[in-house]
Chains A and B, each alone.
Chain A
Amino acid sequence: MSHETQDLDQEIMQTLLTHLARFPTKSDELNAQTDLAADMNIDSVNMMELLMEIEDTFDVSFPLNMMANVNTVQDLANQIKQLVENRP
């Protein structure tokens, strides 16, 4: 894995954790393996707001239907990375 890719991974994860920190979690710790549905209390409106913030931060389009493949924070990070790398 190149440094550039590692940097991007870290940047995405760090940004996500910062955005997610405002939502309560059932466990004490918020990390890459936190399950967005089972471990966090984010309603549909807040999830949409979160995605709009992510789109603006990374200048990508994140379709809401992509959330069907997202369970954990890491899954979300992976989807964002894919969008960033394929940015037109």
Chain B
Amino acid sequence: MSISDRFAELAHIRDSLGAVEADPSRIVMEKILSPTEALIAGKRTILVGTNNYLGLTFEPELLDAACAAMHEQGSGTTGSRMANGSFAGHAALERDFAEFYDVPSAMIFSTGYQTNLGLLMAILRPGDKVVLDSHSHACIYDGCRISGADFLAFRHNDPEDLRKRLRRLGGDAEGALVIAEGLYSMLGDIAPLADLCAVAKEYGAWFMVDEAHSFGVYGERGLGLCEEAGILDQVDFITGTFSKSLASLGGFCVSRHPEMQLLRYGSRPYIFTASSSPANIAAADAALRAIRTRPEIKDKLWANANRLYDGLKGLGYELASTVSPVIAVRVPSKEEGARLWNALLDEGVYVNLVLPPAAPDSAALLRCSLSAAHSFEQIDAILSAFKAASAGSDRAVGASAH
């Protein structure tokens, strides 16, 4: 296949989105007004598709810390930590993560995507075995693919299916790597981590959990679903991102194995990428402090999630999972999904339109991600917009209630 053919393929994808008038790339936030509002096409719009779970992007402590770091240390690091050396902030943030998780090892990466890529590319080699949840994020698949390891999927959130696949590996199951996420970003469902971990350990496999969407949101201390499942002392690697609850840009990996620090010498996405900017590091560190000291932020997020979830249920929408900060509305067709998505925009509400293959088991999803910064008035406005949007639908509101 030539490069021209590839361009034609990509143009086809763009045109197919254009055909249903659902091209998210046409959305431009002309002005960001707050963690939950922006001007889109000149219209004041409530944002409910940003993953800004704790709503900290405009928090004065974060802004002050980021500005101070930029003035003190400059706008960028202009190179990788292996080449240029680490800034004190990089090392301090790693210490803070290690202390928060009470583990010997923590490493930070320049993005969440690179965190999983960096871990997997460093610890896996051709011939190694990986069994990952079939709904895993692209960066997990990509890390496995690039590593050259043999990787196979188990059915989403199904510990018995994982057991079956580990059993089939025979002696290779011992030392294999099992990968799951905490909160799955599209359907908003959570993994049965205690059961998955128990199966992995039964076969002598390593267990890795990506808490990109669950860090700061679950667990008494906000450490994520591994904390909530009571498996922090058993899970081998936990990864996460700064670009959701931590309101910045970057990623982290923590481990109970001191040897994880050795990744610095063999992880290409760590070695060959410019390190995070001083402003990003300072903002993430300030957000981490907020998670540790202000649990009420998480409580507000959950109050908002419950309010939107109950409201959408009441309107008759079919929701993809039980309540979580990600609430995905199932829509019967791609065209109806696009129509509702545009109607919501007209009503001043921005959600994520998710189409197959990113919408597992569904024709389309209208994905809402809640923020602690949403007010109850905004949640009620979102619900009114859903009600108005579905008024133009073939199905009456409530008709699809299950």
Contacts and interface: CB of A to CB of B under 8 A. Distances in A.
B168 interface: yes
Contacts of B152: 51, 55, 61-64
A65 interface: yes
A46 interface: yes
Contacts of A52: 134, 153-155
Interface in B350-395: 356-357, 360
Interface in A58-79: 59-66
Contacts of B134: 45, 48-49, 52
Contact of B150 (A46, A51, A63): A63
Interface residues of B, number: 22
Interface in B226-272: none
Contacts of A63: 129, 150-152
B149 A65 contact: yes
B168 A65 contact: no
Contacts of A60: 168
A67 B155 CA distance: 19
A44 interface: yes
A9 B180 CA distance: 35
B60 interface: no
B148 interface: yes
Contacts of A61: 129, 150, 152, 165, 168-169
A44 B357 contact: yes
Interface in B141-182: 141, 144-145, 148-155, 164-165, 168-171
Residue among B144, B155, B168, B171 having the largest count of chain A Cβ atoms under 10 Å: B168
At the interface, is chain B mostly helix, strand, loop or mixed? mixed
B153 A43 contact: no
A55 B165 contact: yes
A65 B145 contact: yes
Interface in A20-60: 43-46, 48-49, 51-52, 55-56, 59-60
Contacts of A46: 357
B185 to A, nearest CB: 15
A59 B151 contact: no
Contacts of B129: 61, 63
Residue among A46, A55, A64 having the largest count of chain B Cβ atoms under 10 Å: A64
A88 B171 CA distance: 9
A65 B357 contact: no
A48 B153 contact: yes
A65 B129 CA distance: 11
A75 to B, nearest CB: 17
A45 B170 contact: no
Contacts of B170: 88
A64 B138 CA distance: 14
A62 B356 CA distance: 24
Interface in B111-129: 129
A62 to B, nearest CB: 7
A52 B145 CA distance: 17
Contacts of A48: 134, 153
Given A55-B168, A88-B170, A45 B356 contact: yes
Nearest to A66: B150
Contacts of A45: 134, 356-357, 360
A2 to B, nearest CB: 26
Q: What are the 5 closest A-B residue pairs judged by CB atoms, nearest first?
A: A63-B150, A45-B357, A43-B357, A88-B170, A61-B168
14 contacts: A45-B356, A45-B360, A48-B134, A49-B134, A52-B134, A52-B153, A52-B154, A59-B168, A60-B168, A62-B152, A64-B145, A64-B151, A65-B145, A88-B171
Given A48-B153, A51-B153, 19 more contacts: A43-B357, A45-B134, A51-B152, A52-B155, A55-B152, A55-B165, A60-B168, A61-B165, A61-B168, A61-B169, A62-B152, A63-B129, A64-B144, A64-B152, A65-B144, A65-B149, A65-B150, A66-B150, A88-B170
